Amino acid sequence: MNTNRVTEIATSFKSFTKEAYHKTEVLPELFELQAELVEKTFTESSNTAELKIWDVERRLDEMNSECGGIVTEQLEAFKKDCKYICNLIKAEISGNRGEIKAFDSLSRIHGEHIILKNIELSNNEMRSELDAVVITRNGAFIVEVKNTSRNIFIDEDGNYYRTGEFLRWDSHIGEKMQVKESLLREVLNAKGLADIPIYEIVVFTNNRIEVQNKCRPLKTCFLSQLPYIIDKCRDTVISFTEMNLVAQAVSEADIEKSYPFEFDVDVFKMNFANILVSLEEAKEAKQSNWFKTVIAFFNQKTVKYAHTAAALAVAIITAFGSVNGH
């Protein structure tokens, strides 16, 4: 195999070349990776804008079949990685859509309020992202957004399950919300705002699902209920000055940290390059054999001139069929 060609393809990717990424950078990078895979696979096509990763899988499968299945095992491993990437893209899109819906719902709050989006807090022991922190005259509300199509069951201890034929444990939402509240409390305490009450709300963007919440400390609702729940809270009244101090404290504590991507993209790129080069070389070898067959025909001394045209046609048809796997 031409290892220089493999290295050339693998290193030509412009996506995922940094060591760490902020959350907002991940989806654009995934889209760029998908576009590059399409571009490198469909080199002879000018209309690739609508093609996705599964189109790359399909084309490589076709090429592998035409070449006698020479990279079947490598392709199976590659397709598993493709599925993982597709799921990441879907999850990122779903999460972004859910947050957009939630932010739109929060804009319907009637009372004075400040909305902070995608806040990341951390201390020496814990780290968590808060989808939104809403500050009103009644305190600070931590809003956790869930965009799911499955029915949800939350037990007394705060375990979060997706329901269906069986209960499928997803996470300990109660513990996650406690971590968020603890981190936010630390931030406020450090600024002398210990008396500011903190509330936690888990909001579901899909009102067609059923949510059973048995965890009493955990407040859950749908989007249409979110502004009302925040507006109706009248437990404590804080000043406008305190509202702004809370917003300033949270904004200053937002770390906006970048993290290494959880998937080894460099290995994925190299695997793709190996598969593509193997298929390219196999195709070139078949084409070379096709021309050799034609040339060999002309060198046959026993072929009569009168039958050359007919015999050549037979040879070309036979060789062409061989090249295309027929």
Within 13 A of 288's CA, how many CA atoms are on the CB side?
Answer: 6
Q: pLDDT value at position 44?
A: 82
- Which DSSP string do the residues of 297-310 spell out, in sequence order? HHT-TT--GGGHHH
Q: Domain map of the chain by residue range?
A: 3-93+264-284, 108-253, 286-323
In the three-class reduction of DSSP (H, G, I as helix; E, B as strand; rest coil), residue 256 is classed as coil
**Top-level class of domain 108-253:** alpha beta
Q: Is residue 23 very low, low, confident or very high in pLDDT (cuts 50, 70, 90)? A: confident
pTM: 0.73
Q: Are 226 and 203 in contact (CB under 8 A)?
A: yes
Q: Are 271 and 81 in contact (CB under 8 A)?
A: yes
Diameter of the chain by CA atoms?
105
Q: pLDDT value at position 292?
A: 55
Q: Is residue 306 very low, low, confident or very high in pLDDT (cuts 50, 70, 90)? A: very low
Mean pLDDT, residues 230-255 taken together = 92
Query: What sign has the CA pseudo-torsion 222, 227, 232, 235?
Result: positive
Q: Which residues of 236-263 are buried (b: 16+ CB within 10 A; e: fewer)?
A: eebeeebbebbbebbeebbeeeeeebee
As a whole number of angstroms, the distance between CA 106 and CA 114 comes to 10
